[in-house]
Amino acid sequence: MSNFEKNHNKQAEQVLLSGKPEHLLSRVEVFKKMCRMLELMRRNFLENDWHHYSKLIPRQQFIHLMQVRHSLPCNLSKIMRVTGMTSAGASIFVDKMVKKGVFERQEDPNDRRNIIINFTERAGRKTEELDNRLNRYILKFFDNCSEEEIANLEEASRLVCRVLDSPTLDDNIDL
C-alpha cells in the first residue's frame, strides 16, 4: 500500500472535531463529541438564520430569544435560569423585546406580583417558521438512514433527554 493510500485511509478514519477514530473514543468522549457536533450544527444554522433578522434584532438578543422560546410563557426568573442572565440583564432583554413587538407582558391571574412573558402573535408565528426551517435542516442529516436507524436514534435521544431532564441531576456536582 502506498503512502498516499495509507494517509487517505487514516484521514477517512478520523472524525471531525475529535481527530480520533470513533472506535477509540471512550463512552464519555463519544458523548461529548456528539454534543459538540450537535451544538456546532445548531449554532451554524441559527447564525445563518439570524441574518434574516439582523436588521431587526442584534445577534446576542436573537441567541437569548432562541434560548427562551421553548420556555414561554414564563416569568422573568425562568428567563434568567434559561439564559444565565442576571435579573437586570433579563429585565433589559424583556424590555427591548417588548419594544420590538416580540414579547408581551401580562399579569398572572393567580399572583398579581408575577408577570407572565409570552410571544406576541406575530413573533410566535415567526419562531414557528424558524422551527420549521430547523426541522427541515435536521431531517436532511437522516436522508441516508434506514427506518430502523432513525428509530434507534430517536430512542437514544429520548433516553438522553430523560437523563438530562432528571430532577435528581445536580448542576453543582463537586468532582
Q: For every one of its 175 residues, what pLDDT tens digit does the chain have, with 9 covering 90 and above?
A: 555 444 445 544 555 655 666 666 677 787 788 888 888 888 888 888 877 777 788 888 988 998 899 899 999 999 999 999 999 999 999 999 999 999 999 998 888 888 999 999 999 998 899 889 888 988 898 899 999 999 999 999 899 888 888 776 555 555 4
pLDDT above 70 covers a percentage of the chain that reads: 81
Q: Report the pLDDT value the prediction gives residue 148, as an integer from 0 to 100.
A: 96
HEC string for 49-63: HHCCCCCCCCHHHHH
Burial class (CB in 10 A: 0-12, 13-18, 19+), 90: buried
Instruction: Report d(CA 134, CA 127) in Å as an integer.
Output: 10
Taken in order 99, 103, 106, 110, the sign of the CA dihedral is: negative
Helix (H, G, I), strand (E, B) or coil at 40: helix
The β-bridge partners of 104 are: 118
Give the predicted TM-score (pTM) of the model: 0.67
Distance in angstroms (rounded) separating the CA atoms of residues 36 and 39: 5
- As given in the structure block, the three cell numbers for residue 108 are 398572572
Q: How far apart are CA 15 and CA 167, in angstroms?
A: 34
